[in-house]
Amino acid sequence: MLETSKEVLEAEQRFLTGENFYVQHFLGLRKNENGYVFRVWAPNARQVYLVGDFNGWDESLPMEKREKSGVWEISTSLPEEGQLYKFLVEQANGRKIMKIDPFAIRFEKRPGTAAVVYTIAEKKWHDNLWRGRQKKTKTLKRPMNIYEVHASSWQHYEDGQPYTFDELRKELIPYVKEMGYTHIEFLPLMEHPLGASWGYQLTGFFALSSYYVTPEEFRDFVDSCHQNNIGVFVDWVPAHFCINEDTLPYYDGTPTFEYEDPNRAHNIRWGTICFDLGKPQVQSFLISSALFWFEVYHIDGMRVDAVSSMLYLDYDEGPWQPNHEGGNRNFEGYYFLQKLNAVIKLAFPQAVMMAEESSSETKITGMIESGALGFDYKWNMGWMNDVLRFYEMDPIFRKDNFHLLTFSFMYMMNEHYILPFSHDEVVHGKKSLMHKMWGDRYKQFAHLRNMYTFMMTHPGKKLLFMGSEYGQFLEWKYDEGLEWGNLEDELNKKMQTFTAKLNALYKQERSLWELEDTAETIEIIDADNTAESTLTFIRKSKTKKDFLIVALNLAPIERQNFAIGVPYPGSYQEVLNTEKTEFGGTWTKNNTSCQSVEQPFKQFDYQIQTILPALGALIIKPEKIHTS
């Protein structure tokens, strides 16, 4: 809280220069000894009034303008906790319009849009042990398997009401723990007026959506996650905002949060408005929002949505002008993202910053000093698109398109990647992951188990959208709960069992993540057997004898006496067979232990032979080997 006029002046100056990263302590609603002080940035407004149910929504509370910054302010003892308010803005052209408080931390339930006079209660956290562990080891050296969740549609009541975060704390956390995921990632939780946007068209960048009940409940949810060794990520959208005129657009009647150039301000593709990322005040606003979620809610990381739209001037469908160098780089967006990551890492070194970005022209992860944006991870959209195309394909054509499965090995070290099968792939007629798979129902589940094994053993962190873990057949619907009734079907239930087994194996086997940031993490055994559509490779740990062999069969033909090159002589034991009956397959037991023979295979002096199930995947581990 700002106590003195000197502190207020300093906060104002930092806001104007884009260096106030806790701007919510200056703007918005602040409690003081005499009641409340309200401040809002509207530099070109003729007049601004504080209105609410404490003054009949009339013009009896005019605000005064701070000429230096264009911030309007008023102190009053009239409001009480829980009452509603807005700002009545007389815009530059004389038009009067009710506007939200951009810095509000609470809004009334939609379809209402007024802010709430609200103070988040103090909390005693119980996650020191979790937070301490996160500081000790970088995430690159730890397993990361993310369960992506849309909070209001994970489960519904019969009357259509979603679970509150208190109810999610009791139901979702035990489920995620039982399934073996390491993190939960939520689609945006910030205030948004339309559920159909899934939270990607925000209005309140500091406010937990009132749809999910109270901020205190979400804090308790995060605290409980941490006590159960589960991290929490949230999606955040600094690229654009909701076009509703009572929210941020043209706040004082002139471009305020948005670009002056209407072609840059309006995002035609999404029907939204783009932030002017070069404006210092906007930088203060957005970076303060990001830090707020880390500080107040103890989240562990953020996925920044739509990064490409912030990097390239020609990303949208409308006309665009080249930059001063004649290219398509949006320098304001580029430098803003570097600044965002630098500030967050300074305040929270253990924070995980992730980018949803689909181009290859800009280095996304890595040191800012090297020209990268400073993110920890980038979603590997190319891998996801290629893999889904491959698994949707009739196997007869796979031998001619095997590059879709193997091309990612060529660039897997270019960035630090997350391999995402996200919400975007199971909506708008794209079908669910299970429904995408080729073949009849039995083969679809076999493909899904195979594909998940490839994801889990391919270098990169993992992300899977809710419902996909048990093979939900219907597309995801944002306004309905998941099809939990599917689990009454034996194949769905066994698919869920398989996913939990695979998740547990991933966490257990250090070779799947310990060297993930180095090329030594993987050695290809055979990526050339396109005729039989098989792929084999090794994942390695720091310990010489600790590695896994992965064998994938992408054809509906069982491969007898299947040869696999191995680095050392000895015996090898199968630890996962995707075609076991417990997972929905037909195999009642694993292959027997394999003894190596001294026979060259590719770069190896030894090989083993096993049976590779039709459309199956095997994970094989050294049992007794000789490395000398």
Q: Where in 436-589 does DSSP place strands (E)?
A: 461-465, 522-526, 534-540, 547-553, 559-566, 570-577
Q: How many other CB atoms sit within 10 Å of the CB of residue 335?
A: 15
Given a contact cutoff of 8 angstroms between Cβ atoms, the answer to whether 476 and 433 are in contact is no
- Closest listed residue to residue 64, CA positions, set 86, 83, 42: 42
Q: Is the dihedral of CA 591, 595, 599, 603 positive or negative?
A: positive
Nearest CA-CA partner of 191 in 296, 287, 101, 106: 106
From 356, 376, 425, 579, the catalytic residue: 356
Which residues, other chains included, contact 390 with Cβ-Cβ below 8 Å and sequence gap of 6+? Answer: 398, 401, 404, 405, 554
Q: Are 366 and 338 in contact (CB under 8 A)?
A: no
Q: 392-409 burial, b if ≥16 CB within 10 A, otherwise e?
A: eeebeebeeebebbbebe
Radius of gyration of the chain (CA): 27
- Coil vs helix vs strand at 204: strand
Q: What gap in Å lies between CA 367 and CA 341, rounded to an integer?
A: 10
Closest CA to 452 of 435, 434, 438: 434
| Alpha carbon 531 to its chain's center | 37
Give the start-end residues of each E strand in 82-121.
84-90, 96-99, 115-116
Q: Return d(Cα 236, Cα 247) in angstroms, integer.
A: 18
Is 220 annotated as catalytic? no
Best CA proximity match to 96, nearest among 65, 132, 51: 51
Q: How many residues are there in the chain? A: 628
> β-strands 461-465, 145-149: how paired?
parallel
> Which residues have a Cβ under 8 Å from the Cβ of 402 and sit 6 or more positions away?
527, 530, 533, 535
Give the Cβ contact number of residue 220 at 10 Å. Answer: 17
Catalytic residue among 148, 185, 223, 305: 305
For residues 387, 362, 283, 291, the Cα torsion angle rounded to the nearest 10 degrees is 50
Structure tokens given for 538: 């090794």
Active site residue 305: yes
| Residue 439 Rama label (left phi>0; alpha psi -120 to 50; beta) | left
Q: Which residues participate in catalysis according to the annotation? A: 305, 356
